[in-house]
Structure 1
């Protein structure tokens, strides 16, 4: 069977070789020939240095007599129509003759027209071919989709690879079952959900879940990012959407996965330009999802961490029928995720996975995978063949606070200030009721800027916080500055991060949680991008905003005074722990609590 593609490439190579040979020929000719003036030519005739001459209508080609040790060189000069040239050549004893003009029209047409066209065609193909590879699908094929197609079982992922997202998996199991056994659903009249939107913070495993669905269903899997639809030319993104759905229909049953769909699915509300590329692409996507043949089992999965910016038409039933929340895992989920990632590494039998899960509240799957990898790297660094408990604990601290900065040498005064600051945090936390226990206090600087830190680990995950717990949290944050005031009667810049967090918590109590007597349960701010930074948007006037500042300041002052009172009443204990910390640089929670309990029993 004739392979047109192979023939085309063979022709490219032939043309390329011909062009290279022509270029080499021109270059070599240029190196071998040299132009001279006519008077130099006559001088050489007089001196009898010429061996042969070829005369044409426009120039005279001169072959000089070879000199010893030199290569033969061809010279040429312009034919000025000298009537005595033949006599001079005869007198000098030079062999001469004429060069006939090429009168073949076909040959002239080939070299003047056909060959240049072939050369430019080949060069154009060569240049555009390289651009095709760089741009993915080709300069001349903008309308083709760039989705990566995985065949059956190629994703290499199943639901066993996804942990900590049991509710999300349960929502997707039905889709997998429908693709496997459509008949039992059709008999009762049920229809396959056209689409499922995976929503959650970054790193929670949305893409992994989509691949696991394809792996479980054992069907072809089209995967691409929303940004890949957006092109420089208007209409190209819409053409890619059409091509993607056309290919999906041919491969049905299959799954289409669009990651970061907010790149093309943003709301059209407030869009001034009504004909931009993104809007056309979105309109085409809406039309394809709505007009898609429901008899063909094609499921569209999409992922985003900004569902609030998506167009309402995209979210209505009939397009994305299900919204699957892929949230941060709880304690049990984190433990399961750690076990999944630990399967790929060697670790000690005495490893306490539950303790690590407790030490990582708020961590997502990507964070935990990174921690396991950091622990493995640390184990190799210390010449161990398996991961130990201390490797994972150190990995948590490296990700949270950075590596130990051993080259930062603080003065004794600064070291003492940092020690009292950190003990202030820990002591306020230990002496207030209902707070998380202190796990570690250290004054070893870290690469992320911390000169020391106090680590508290919750005994269980909390989903609700009372007003008293939030107030105590602010007091703990301000305990470091309070310790500096009590011990040194001076303050430093070390509390900047504590102040930022305390102010944000106090402001949220006033504006979002209804914990201010003055505003009662009035909502003054609402969170935006809840799965990203969650920065609040204010819903009040400028006058009310100034009152919010007053209420926030009131809470901070009360919490600050409470921290100062606690430390003044336990100044001797604070000094004792700080001296111990200065000596050891790091105190674990058990040793710290021995100091606290010893002081309580002494008071009794």
Structure 2
């Protein structure tokens, strides 16, 4: 039995091509240089200036000359010397050149001085030199074109430059292993919806017996990092049908019509292997609203979108091919994409809940050694608002910290440091502060912490720190007992008072304002304005929503926010916001004045330890005495 050797890999092919091209260039240059050396004119050793030549002729020192074009080769009647010492060279043969303006007196001068004169016709290049001069540039240019062709073929698939309109979608290979729904934490609702799609692809007749039509498109929508692409990879691993994956940007090229051609080619490949699935990541890059005028028009992108719309639901039947896409910007998509018959099913992938975060953390911690003090359930409580990608990054950062400390397992302290880095930024170890600045920061954070400890509806304290990070000089962290989906007014008012605790402590102990309260004031103002405008929690606007501002021009589709109330109402809104903030400041100030000794103890402890959490913090602030 003959065993054929395995085919060379693309990398080996590229290396072989490079070696062959380099060898061809070296051989060509070697032949050219050798031919010039062998067949080209060989010049004498010594060249003299033309005025020296005329002077020697006039003195009778030149025996003979041979003229060929502008070149004059000659022989002196006696030897001449050039240089001194070891560099001294004696010679009789020489050459020089006629000046560009010529010398009509030269012939008479040679005859008058009995110089033997010989003339030769201009020497033509040999056929080898002519061939090299003609072919060498052509070979060089041809080599460049060949290498460019191979490069385009490697990037654009079969056909190279001529196949630029072919689909760039890659076919999923199950033999290399992949993800399944077991590898995706949380998102139970999204997984149930996608399992129905897989069931239809595996058994198309089951739905048709009930008179139903299969979905043509599935749109995954959600914030960045929630696992939309991961779910698509799980579908590819679960489905027993051909799965083609690509990105929206893969359809855009500098050539007109390439995007639409690639869409046609992709659907043709999928129809040949139907039932099949197509996944287009970042659909918003080609699916923006046509003619919206936002950011300028783009005819090539619109033509690509038109072709996609036609392939999904046009004159040609497109059964047994399901298109799945993902985007975190659904509001910029063209309405024609979202109508029934195109993307029939819209699946929203939300930020994970606490139970989902516990499941995700368990999956990502499975291949990492964890110390006994690590509580993933408690960590899920401390990571409210984190996406799945954020949780993966958190555990990876904790692993790096454990490696720096040369630990064999990831400890709870490593995870805590990683969480601070993710939420507060990188720790600024080299930052130097004066004692007065440290005391001001400790006073500010102590005010936040004491207000949080004394308010009945505030979230429990977790940690107070005055270690500077890239995003803040200090931090007071609170962890909610449970996730909140509906916010009561008393909870929001207590939250405003906690935000004002830092400014109130500065005024009470130092009698001044500092720039450290900038972020607190901004967040408190935004929260108070939403309470008045959107949630009807102001005294003058208890049962009316005046609308909030749209902050993202792309998601909202509007460049300028519209205010749908009068100037007088706007004045009343400003007064309501100011009243809520002043009330929060007064509540915080009253709490700090009633507990001034506790605040001073907390400040001293922060200056000594820089970070206080857990039982030590509870011991300092004392038992809860909510007001």
TM interval, short-chain normalised: 0.7 to 0.9
Distance 1:26 1:178, change over 3 A: farther
- Which residue of structure 2 aligns with residue 208 of structure 1? 230
Distance (whole Å) between structure 1 residues aligned to residue 441 and residue 19 of structure 2: 74
Q: In the superposition, relative to structure 1, how do residues 409 and 547 fare at CA in structure 2: closer, same or farther (>3 Å)?
A: same
Q: Contact 1:525–1:538 (CA<8 Å) still a contact in 2?
A: no
Map of 2:575 onto structure 1:
550
319, 324, 328: which one aligns with 1:305? 328
Partner secondary structure for residue 286 of structure 2: helix
1:240 to 2:262 alignment: yes
- Tell me if 1:280 matches 2:306: no
CA–CA distance in structure 2, aligned partners of residues 467 and 480 of structure 1 = 22
Q: Does structure 2 retain, via aligned residues, the 8 Å contact 1:199–1:206?
A: yes
Aligned match of 2:4: none
Q: Which moved more, 1:270-279 or 1:455-464?
A: 270-279
Q: Give 1:389's aligned residue.
A: 412
Please say if 1:377 is aligned against 2:400: yes
Among 243, 249, 254, the alignment partner of 1:221 is 243
Q: Which runs of 5+ in 2 are unaligned?
A: 1-12
Q: Which residue of 1 aligns with 2:468?
A: 445
Match of 1:162 among 173, 184, 187: 184
Instruction: Give distance in 1, aligned partners of 2:19 and 2:75.
Output: 41
CA offset at residue 370 of structure 1?
0.7
Shift in Å, 1:145: 3.4
Match in the other structure for 2:513? 491
Structure 1 residues 44, 340: closer, same or farther in 2, change over 3 A? farther
Which residue matches 2:564?
Answer: 540
Q: In the alignment, is the contact (CA less than 8 A) between 1:154 and 1:215 conserved in 2? A: no
Bigger CA drift: 571-580 or 522-531? Answer: 522-531
Describe the shift of the 1:119–1:455 C-alpha distance in structure 2 as closer, same or farther (beyond 3 A).
Answer: closer
Contact persistence 1:153–1:215 (CA under 8 A) = no
CA offset digits 1:331-382 (Å, max 9, x no partner): 0111111111112322224521111111100000111111111111111111
Q: 1:599 to 1:117 in 2, by over 3 A?
A: closer
Deviations 1:252-302 (A, max 9, x none): 343322221111111125339777222222111111111386565322111
The question of whether the paired residues in 2 share the 8 Å contact of 1:15 and 1:119 is answered with no
Q: Aligned in 2, Cα 1:529/1:180: closer, same or farther, shift over 3 Å?
A: farther
- Judging changes above 3 Å, is the alpha-carbon distance between structure 1 residues 24 and 111 closer, same or farther for their aligned structure 2 residues? closer
Structure 1 CA distance, aligned partners of 2:315 and 2:74? 79
Deviates more, 1:557-566 or 1:348-357: 348-357
CA separation of 1:26/1:276 partners in 2, compared to 1, >3 Å: closer, same or farther? farther
SS at match of 1:582: helix
SS in 2 for 1:347: coil
Indicate whether 1:425 and 2:448 are aligned: yes
| TM score, norm. by length of structure 2 | 0.80
Three-state SS of the structure 2 residue aligned to 1:525 is coil
Does 280-289 or 376-385 show the bigger shift?
280-289
Q: Distance in 2 between matches of 1:140 and 1:27?
A: 40
- State the distance in 1 between where 2:126 and 2:509 align: 108
Aligned equivalents of 1:518, 1:424: Cα separation in 2: 31
Aligned CA-pair RMSD: 4.5
- For residues 243 and 383 of structure 1, what CA distance do their matches in structure 2 show? 53
TM-score (norm 1): 0.83
Quick check: 1:515–1:521 contact (8 Å CA) kept in 2?
A: no
- 1:332 corresponding residue in structure 2: 355
Aligned residue pairs, count = 592
The Cα shift of 1:227 comes to 2.4
Among 437, 449, 453, the alignment partner of 1:414 is 437
- The one-character-per-residue Cα deviations of 1:481-517 (angstroms, maximum 9, x if unpaired) are 0111122222211111111111111111122222223
> Is the contact made by 1:33 and 1:74 (CA closer than 8 Å) also made in structure 2?
no
Paired with 2:316 and 2:425, the residues of 1 have a C-alpha distance of: 53
User: 2: distance between equivalents of 1:287 and 1:454?
Assistant: 55
Match runs of 1:494-509 below 5 Å: 494-509=516-531
Q: Is the alpha carbon distance of 1:74 and 1:292 closer, same or farther for their aligned partners in structure 2, counting shifts above 3 Å?
A: farther
The structural deviation recorded for 1:522 is 2.2
Instruction: Give, in angstroms, the shift of residue 403 of structure 1.
Output: 3.6
Distance across 2 between alignment mates of 1:517 and 1:560: 18
CA distance in 1, matches of 2:534, 2:255: 44
Query: In the alignment, what sits opposite 2:340?
Result: 317
Distance apart, 1:98 and its partner CA: 7.8
What is the alpha-carbon distance in structure 2 between the residues aligned to residue 233 and residue 546 of structure 1? 55
Contact 1:573-1:599 at 8 Å conserved across structures: no
Once the two structures are TM-superposed, the CA of residue 20 in structure 1 deviates from its matched residue by: 3.6
User: Greater shift after overlay, 254-263 or 55-64?
Assistant: 55-64
Deviation of 1:87 (Å): 11
Partner of 2:532: 510
SS at match of 1:455: strand
Q: Which residue number in structure 1 is paired with residue 286 of structure 2?
A: 264
Contact 1:61-1:74 within 8 A present in 2 as well: yes
Query: Structure 1 142/60 Cα, relative in aligned 2: closer, same or farther at 3 Å?
Result: farther
**Which of 133, 151, 164 does residue 173 from structure 2 map onto?**
151
SS at 1:278 equivalent:
helix
Residue in 2 aligned with 1:361? 384
Distance 2:63 2:245 in 1: 77
